């Protein structure tokens, strides 16, 4: 977030973020792209021109910036956005869905890792985005923890038809932690319950389904990747 702000507020040196991404930050590229979204939320000219803000980022992972934008918007202003979710309508194309994935992540924190509260909040938001919202909730559950086995099983149960989306989010969390070499017991537990895979197998699934992705078309490669993960889950 800080490097993005510095780059866009500087007149000359504007390569801090890419230098970090291509250097010591490479193992944390998922999280760095999310951080770009935090910066977008705070700079009006970036907020109003998402595609310009992410033009130099990884073509696949750039959607995580929209995810980060959604997370920070809802986390700090969730009562307002739950009453008036018009922000979704200000976003065009797939950015709207990626933004909703970040909103889903924020709900896990806002709800205090309470699956019933997460489910209720999702029910108040546009139905066309429920799959994205549940995916974000699954990612946050596996990444941040805060819930025991019973609570995670409750999340899986409440997700209903979006169970695969929740599992896909958990698989993303497993990949982030494996790549950064910071595994946790709560990520392992969440993957076993939500994905019916251990964390390593869930991370491997994200790698396998990432191979040979097409270029962005009507459906971005990032969304095709997410759908592939969901379709390759053991019970799909």
- pTM here is 0.94
Let me know if residue 59 belongs to a domain. yes
Q: What percent of the chain has pLDDT over 90?
A: 79
The mean predicted confidence, pLDDT, of the chain is 93
3-class secondary-structure state, position 38: helix
| Cα–Cα distance measured from residue 74 to residue 37, given in angstroms and rounded to the nearest whole number | 13
Let me know if residue 16 belongs to a domain. yes
Q: Domain range for residue 60?
A: 2-231
Let me know if residue 23 belongs to a domain. yes
For residue 210, the model assigns a pLDDT of 97
How do residues 117-171 score in pLDDT, each as one tens digit?
999 999 999 999 999 999 999 999 999 999 999 999 999 999 999 999 999 999 9
86 has pLDDT over 90: no
Rg (CA), the chain: 17
Question: Cβ(178)–Cβ(200) under 8 Å?
Answer: yes
Residue bearing tokens 């801090």: 16
**H helix runs in 160-220, sequence order:** 163-180, 185-194, 199-210
The token duo for 146 is 């805060």
The widest CA-to-CA distance across the chain, in whole angstroms, is 53
Q: Identify which of 120, 111, 97, 95 has the alpha carbon closest to the alpha carbon of residue 40.
A: 95
Let me know if residue 195 belongs to a domain. yes
Let me know if residue 236 belongs to a domain. no
The token duo for 171 is 């698989």
How do residues 178-229 score in pLDDT, each as one tens digit?
999 999 999 999 999 999 999 999 999 999 999 999 999 999 999 999 999 9
* DSSP class of 140: H
Q: How many domains does the chain have?
A: 1
85 has pLDDT over 80: no
Let me know if residue 206 belongs to a domain. yes
Let me know if residue 156 belongs to a domain. yes
Average the pLDDT over 10-15 and give the result: 81
């Amino acid at each position: 977030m800080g490097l993005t702000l510095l780059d866009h507020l500087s007149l000359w040196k504007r390569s801090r973020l890419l230098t970090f991404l291509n250097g010591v930050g490479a193992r944390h590229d998922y999280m760095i792209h999310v951080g770009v979204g935090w910066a977008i939320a705070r700079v009006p000219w970036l907020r109003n021109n998402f595609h310009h803000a992410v033009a130099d980022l990884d073509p696949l992972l750039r959607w995580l910036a929209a995810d980060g934008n959604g997370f920070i918007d809802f986390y700090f202003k969730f009562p307002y956005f739950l009453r008036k979710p018009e922000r979704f309508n200000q976003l065009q194309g797939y950015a709207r869905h990626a933004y909703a994935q970040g909103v889903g992540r924020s709900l896990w924190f806002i709800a205090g890792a309470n699956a019933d509260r997460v489910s209720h909040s999702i029910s108040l938001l546009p139905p066309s985005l429920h799959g994205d919202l549940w995916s974000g909730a699954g990612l946050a559950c596996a990444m941040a923890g805060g819930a025991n086995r019973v609570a995670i099983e409750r999340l899986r149960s409440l997700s209903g038809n979006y169970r695969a989306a929740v599992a896909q989010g958990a698989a993303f969390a497993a990949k982030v932690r494996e790549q950064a070499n910071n595994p946790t017991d709560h990520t392992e537990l969440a993957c076993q319950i939500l994905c019916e895979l251990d964390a390593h197998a869930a991370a491997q699934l994200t790698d396998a389904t990432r191979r040979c992705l097409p270029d962005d078309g009507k459906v971005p490669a990032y969304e095709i990747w997410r759908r592939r993960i969901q379709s390759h889950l053991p019970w799909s």
